[in-house]
Chains A and B, each alone.
Chain A
Amino acid sequence: MGSELGGAVPPNGAGAAAVLGAAIGGLVLGILALAADAVTAVGGLFNIWNPTGPLSGVTSAAILAWLVAWLVLAHLWSGRNLDVRRVNFWATAMFVVGLLLTFPPFMDLLQGK
């Protein structure tokens, strides 16, 4: 069963930070996708590379949010042991909302289209 080669079990804080950071990135992706679709001015703001359009800014900002969230959480949680079940709960919620916000029929529903 498993392995004893790795020695003592390391604190789970860094892992929890990676999971929640990814979920924050997914949530930001969904929110920005909706915002760029719903508000023309926001779409224009995210149009940082014209051939790809607003998608370029939306995904770049989401990746930036993911990496910053991961970095900050890792700084706060590394070396600590956390209740990862709670982290998983919130991460799941964020991923579900993020996924829903990228689903066009749900986007249209929120915008009353």
Chain B
Amino acid sequence: MDITVRDAVTVVHGMFFGAVLLLTVSAAAMGLYATCTPTSHWTLSPAQHRCLSLYLAFVALLAWIAVLLGAYAVYPWYRAHPPAGVTDLSGYPQRLLMSNPSTTAWHDIGMEWKEHVAWFAPISLTVVAFLFARYGHHLYALQSLRRAVFSLVALAFLSACVAGFFGAMLNKYAPVRGGSTMVLMHSQAAHGE
């Protein structure tokens, strides 16, 4: 059982940071709803406020790592140009998608949207972390700022969903693959058993 370096980095980008981001944003939304709405009976202690502030900062950090890893590690492999004369485009995902009219839109719409919309998530989540750290004890009384917080969480979640969906679909039609191979586990047959 082996995996190429490019596969591994793509998995870390999407299936680890991307998926964990979606889970943690959902949890952040519930945490904020439970503690910041006027009808909430949860009185945050200073320690709880600090803990939730750190959690929100961690969620924002996850989003930054996911987009930076995507833009500066995976995307260059995705958009790599094949040398002249190369006919096997399996190592050049963008060219592979664009070589077939039935898959061109996965690049033209999917990747073109994903590569930009994903950045709304870390920006929004950074502001959410700041707003909670600064106003967490008072958000129940600050209706407009509270609405801004929930809207920004929703924006981050939706943009991460769009990026995640298209990332998964693009990787089904044109996987980012190549580089050296890492052996994760030796099969029984390889040992002659």
Contact = CB atoms under 8 A, between A and B. Distances in A.
B120 A99 contact: yes
Contacts of B113: 102-104
Given A14-B134, A26-B123, A49-B72, A88 B141 contact: no
Contacts of B120: 26, 29, 95, 98-99
B43 A3 contact: yes
A26 to B, nearest CB: 6
Contacts of B49: 3, 5-6
Interface stretch (B8-16, B83-91, B147-155, B172-180): B147-155
Interface string A76-113: 00000001110110011001001100111101000000
A1 B136 contact: no
A15 B71 CA distance: 29
Interface string B35-55: 010111101111001000000
Interface of A: 1-7, 9-10, 12, 14-16, 18-19, 21-22, 25-26, 29-30, 33, 37, 49, 51-53, 55-56, 58-59, 62-63, 66, 83-85, 87-88, 91-92, 95, 98-99, 102-105, 107
5 contacts: A10-B134, A12-B142, A22-B124, A30-B116, A51-B75
Given A49-B72, A52-B76, 10 more contacts: A3-B44, A4-B43, A5-B44, A19-B152, A26-B120, A56-B71, A56-B72, A63-B119, A88-B144, A99-B117
